[in-house]
Structure formats: C-alpha cells, structure tokens
C-alpha cells in the first residue's frame, strides 16, 4: 500500500497530482490501483464515451504544482458510477458520499495499472470508494491512496506493508523543504529517519 501523503486532500492537496500514476505506468506495475484522482472533466469524458470505450485522456495535473503535469495516455473505461454511496469503514462509517461522476480507467500502456477518478475531492480513506466501482481493494496487489493517515483505519487490516511515498504535491512532508525565514540557529529540520520512501 502506497500512501501519497503530499497530495492528501485532508492536508490541503487537491487530489489531482500525477507523479505516482506516472511511476506506476512507467514501471508497468502489476495489479496496481490508484485513487482517488480528482478530475471532473476526465470523469465526465469517461461517462460521455461509455463503459468499454478506449480513448486518450489528459488526467489530473490541474493545480499548477511545481514538478507535476497532466498525465497523457490511452485508457479504457472499465466502470462508471454516479459517486453516491455510503461509507462503511471506521473513519467515515455511515457517511453518505456525493463525489459526482466517477470512473475506473485502465492504462493501455501498462494494463496492470488502473485509476479511480472522482469529480469532487476527498481523501481515499474508505474501501467503499473503490467498491462503488466494482473493485475489491483487498484483491489488489498495489494500492496507491491519496491520504496520509486517515486511510489506515479501513485499509491497514488488508495491507501487507504500508509505504508513505513522496510525489509532487502541496502538502510538503519534509520540513526542510519549507521556506523558513525565522528559525533559531541550530534547529534540526529533518527527523532522524526519512518520513517517506522516495
């Protein structure tokens, strides 16, 4: 399980950066699922094309984050959903989500990689966000979640290992990367060990 901490909507991210998606495609990752990538235009386009259609998409990358860009590629629309469902995990249990049009896309370049699109931003902290599109998270080999901590309540029980990964995003994970101006001399900016696997 990969926690994409720097694009966590719960920490100020928009859920639309594509660094982790690009890495999964580049590595032709097997049975990999990324979510939720927030891109209302792409989700709408998937709904217009219909389930089973294969077309070129330019996904995410709309927030203007340094080092990030839309991810261009051909994807097949595997499933479509309206984004209305009830959460079942400990964090959001009973909460009624209204995420707008959602879509499950599969990469043509790396068929083992799929991405869940949503139209409204929320951190990926409940398995129902994936089940709503017919995906059972525990059957995936790799799950990339745009969340930092809140996903753990529902996803940790099904994870063999959790890695916090660093990809471009607005919610900086490394204190040394902030533009500090008034820190006292000698203050350590990094913890003793890395806060992420990058």
DSSP track, 105-122: EEESSSTTEEEEEESS--
Let me know: does 53 contact 137? Beta carbons within 8 Å. Answer: no
pLDDT the model gives residue 40: 98
Query: From CA 150, how far away is CA 90, in angstroms rounded?
Result: 9
- pLDDT grade for 198, boundaries at 50, 70 and 90: very low
Chain segment 101-113, per-residue pLDDT in tens: 999 999 999 999 9
| Structural domain includes residue 40 | yes
Query: From CA 98, how far away is CA 95, in angstroms rounded?
Result: 10
| Structural domain includes residue 197 | no
| Structural domain includes residue 143 | yes
DSSP single-letter state for residue 184: P
What range defines the domain where residue 68 resides?
2-177
Tally the domains of the chain.
1
Query: From CA 98, how far away is CA 193, in angstroms rounded?
Result: 39
Chain segment 30-89, per-residue pLDDT in tens: 999 999 999 999 999 999 999 999 999 999 999 999 899 999 999 999 999 999 999 999
């Amino acid at each position: 399980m990969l926690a994409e901490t720097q694009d966590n909507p719960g920490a100020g991210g928009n859920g639309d950066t594509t660094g982790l998606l690009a890495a999964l495609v580049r590595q032709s990752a097997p049975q990999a699922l990324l979510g939720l990538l927030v891109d209302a235009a792409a989700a709408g386009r998937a709904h217009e094309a219909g389930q089973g259609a294969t077309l070129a998409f330019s996904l995410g990358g709309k927030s203007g984050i340094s080092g990030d860009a839309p991810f261009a590629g051909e994807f097949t629309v595997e499933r479509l959903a309206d984004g209305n469902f009830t959460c079942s995990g400990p964090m959001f249990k009973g909460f009624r989500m209204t995420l707008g049009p959602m879509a499950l896309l599969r990469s043509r370049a790396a068929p083992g990689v799929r991405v869940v699109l949503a139209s409204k931003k929320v951190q990926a902290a409940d398995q129902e966000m994936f089940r709503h599109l017919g995906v059972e998270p525990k059957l995936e080999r790799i799950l990339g979640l745009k969340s930092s901590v809140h996903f753990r309540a529902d996803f940790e029980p099904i994870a063999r290992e959790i890695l916090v990964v660093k990809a471009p995003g607005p919610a900086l994970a490394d204190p040394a990367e902030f533009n500090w101006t008034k820190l006292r001399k000698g203050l350590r900016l990094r913890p003793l060990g890395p806060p992420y696997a990058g």
